Amino acid sequence: MQDILQSEHSQMESLRQDTSSSRQDRHTKMMDIHKSTDANIRALLDPTQQKKWDEMQAKREQWGQNRRHGSPDGDRQGPPPQQ
């Protein structure tokens, strides 16, 4: 799993450095990389682990949305817990 996550990180860094693509194109590519990483990780997990992974991803997504749109806790809310 570590190799999959490292690959995602490398691909994301490359996209961040790419100034030839529009911001929207880079965002779309980043979403594609994230989806591919998620699928590769899910393929390694058993059904119980997949459920926990989905829960962790949902919390991560919610945390990201709260950061983008503001949350009742303001900036006091830290990143999602890593399990």
pLDDT tens, position by position, 14-53: 998 988 989 899 999 999 999 999 999 999 999 999 999 9
* pLDDT above 90: percentage of residues in the chain: 58
Phi, psi of 80, deg, nearest 5: -65, 150
Band of the pLDDT at 6, cuts 50, 70, 90? very high
Residue 80, pLDDT score: 56
The tokens for 61 are 């997504």
Band of the pLDDT at 83, cuts 50, 70, 90? low
Which residues have a Cβ under 8 Å from the Cβ of 66 and sit 6 or more positions away?
73, 77
